[in-house]
Every structure is written in C-alpha cells, then in structure tokens.
Amino acid sequence: MLAILLSAALQGIEALPVHVEVNHGESGDFKLILVGLPDAAVKESDDRVFSALANSGYGLLRTRTTINLAPGDLRKEGPFYDLPIALGILVATGQIAAPDIGDYLIAGELSLSGATRPVRGALALARLAR
C-alpha cells in the first residue's frame, strides 16, 4: 500500500515542498530503502522511526518498505522527516486511517520513545503550509 505525505526541505530561509512517499509490503526480505538524495541524518531516521513506533505500541510488519523523498534533485537534510516517515508507515500498513493526511505539512524529529522534538525553520514551514 502507498501513502503520500507533504513535508519540506529548508533552503536558506525558504521552505520547499517535499513529498514523502511510503510504499510498504513489497515482496522480499525485510529491508528499508530510503531514496531521494537524503543526507546522513535522514538516512539514520530509520532506526529512530522503528524504535519510536515499537516503543509507542505499534506493530512492525517485516516486509520491504521503500521511502522516496521527492523531488529527487533537492537535498534533504536534518531530522525533518522522522515524523512523516513514521506516519507514512502507519498509514501504508493500515495501522491508522488518515485519508486526508496528504493535506497537511508534517515535519518533526522523533525520540526513541516516540516523543516529538522540534525542528528548525518553523516560520518557513508555516509560510509554506498556508
């Protein structure tokens, strides 16, 4: 199943839209594939996201999950994508129903416990979201 959420990338003081596409349930061994020009902090998000989901009581279905951060030519930096990736996984696996989730801009870092942490650029994100 596919879930598409809206997030953002900061370029200076401007926020640019980024679509977080989560495709879950492909055949094959358990594997998380993150594509779309992510930096090291974004690539590390899978450990934070899976720990946050497990510690929040959600089940993890052990199949192949592909996460695309689009557009692919825009550099993605920082922990902005933890929360949209986690929500995308929950929607794609059917653990939560959120038919309008693509109508909201979502950004946030997750702790291992599942608590959200703030991200920089709130004003630019709010400007993009309106």
The domains of the chain are located at 2-129
Of 45 and 60, the structure prediction assigns the larger pLDDT to: 45
Using alpha carbons, select from 36, 1, 28, 22 the residue that is nearest to residue 83: 22
pLDDT at 19 (0 to 100): 97
Digit-coded pLDDT (tens) for 22-59: 998 766 667 778 887 767 777 778 888 989 999 999 98
As assigned by CATH, the class of the 2-129 domain is alpha beta
State pTM to two decimals.
Answer: 0.91
